[in-house]
Amino acid sequence: MIDGIAKLVEQLDGGMTARFARRIGLTKTTVHWWLKQGGVPTLAAHLRIASHTGVSLETLLTGAIGGSVASLPEFPSLAELFPDCKKRASPRQRNTAEIEAKLDDLRQPDVAISVSEAARRLRIHRRTLYRLENEKARVLGEKWAEHQRARREQHRLDAVHAIEAAVGDILSSGKAPNLREVQQLVPRKVLGGVRGVVTMIQEAAAKIEGLQSATLP
């Protein structure tokens, strides 16, 4: 390999290491270290040599430099340096009409879906969906946000009704309602995610006691 580099220095720059170093964009000391002191070029250095000499990386690494190497007027392409490298696959073409039609289906009144989930089903990135169909994506996002708000509100109402029923049972048994007593009667999934449960228990107790007081003769 080092003998191959020495041949390149001789053929391209008349054996002048300083000129060869300038050619590949490295220092004279680095090239001298390779040729005279047993240094080994890094992969990055090999790529520099290959790109500035037109010799393939495989040829450079094996040291199989031929009898004549022409100086390059310009840098070779990646395909010339790596003949066996595969071409990058062309970007997937997007059918905007198909995307638009699927978005229309997802915007039906009985469908609630997030923009991220819609993008996943369409097999595109969320940002791409906004770029291609900004208005429809925004409508979809607003509908999903409203759906989430309605779910949270319904969840809270369910918790209120369950807490009131539990507090009524606790008061009927002659006990004072508290969080622990309510948690024993109300399923965890009903109370989960609801804020201010203690306040809701107090309000339920006050409501029930007020109704009971109003019915007394």
Model confidence over 24-72: pLDDT tens digits?
888 989 988 888 888 888 888 888 888 887 788 788 788 777 666 655 5
- So where are the chain's domains? 2-67+77-81, 96-215
Q: How many residues does the chain have?
A: 217
Model confidence over 171-209: pLDDT tens digits?
999 999 999 999 999 999 999 889 999 999 999 999 988
Q: Rounded to an integer, what distance in angstroms lies between the CA atom of residue 83 and that of residue 67?
A: 21
Q: Which two tokens stand for residue 32?
A: 């001298």
Q: Which two tokens stand for residue 212?
A: 């009971």
Model confidence over 27-36: pLDDT tens digits?
989 988 888 8
- The letter for the amino acid at 135 is E
Q: What is the DSSP letter of 26?
A: S
pTM equals 0.49
pLDDT of residue 159 exceeding 90: yes
Q: Rounded to an integer, what distance in angstroms lies between the CA atom of residue 66 and that of residue 69?
A: 7
Model confidence over 96-147: pLDDT tens digits?
788 888 888 877 878 888 989 988 888 888 888 888 888 888 888 999 999 9
Q: What CATH number is given for 2-67+77-81 in this structure?
A: 1.10.260
pLDDT of residue 74 exceeding 50: no
Q: Rounded to an integer, what distance in angstroms lies between the CA atom of residue 173 and that of residue 128?
A: 60
Return mean pLDDT, the chain: 82
Q: Which two tokens stand for residue 131?
A: 């770029």
- Give me the pLDDT at residue 46, please: 85
The closest of 126, 129, 125 to 98, measured between CA atoms, is 129
